[in-house]
Amino acid sequence: MSLQHSSEDKIEVIRTQPDQSLGCSIIDEQGREVPITEDMIQNACRELEKRLVKPAEQE
């Protein structure tokens, strides 16, 4: 199983309401609750993909 997927491996998320909450939050530096958005998750995934190191090819 590989953590790396091609850009063709997209999963469509269907929400019944635009900007519907994901139901989870983080606490910021000031102690405020900040809802986690799908954009936040997508950005984090893109950052992780940039940092992935491809495994060495086995002979």
Average pLDDT over residues 9-24: 71
Average pLDDT over residues 16-42: 84
Residue 59 to residues 1, 38, 53, 54: CA-CA distances in angstroms? Answer: 19, 40, 18, 15
7 has pLDDT over 80:
no
What percent of the chain has a predicted confidence (pLDDT) above 70? Answer: 66
- The neighbour count for residue 40, using CB atoms within 10 Å, is 13
Strands of 1-59, DSSP E: 25-27, 33-35
The reported pTM is: 0.53
pLDDT of amino acid 25: 92
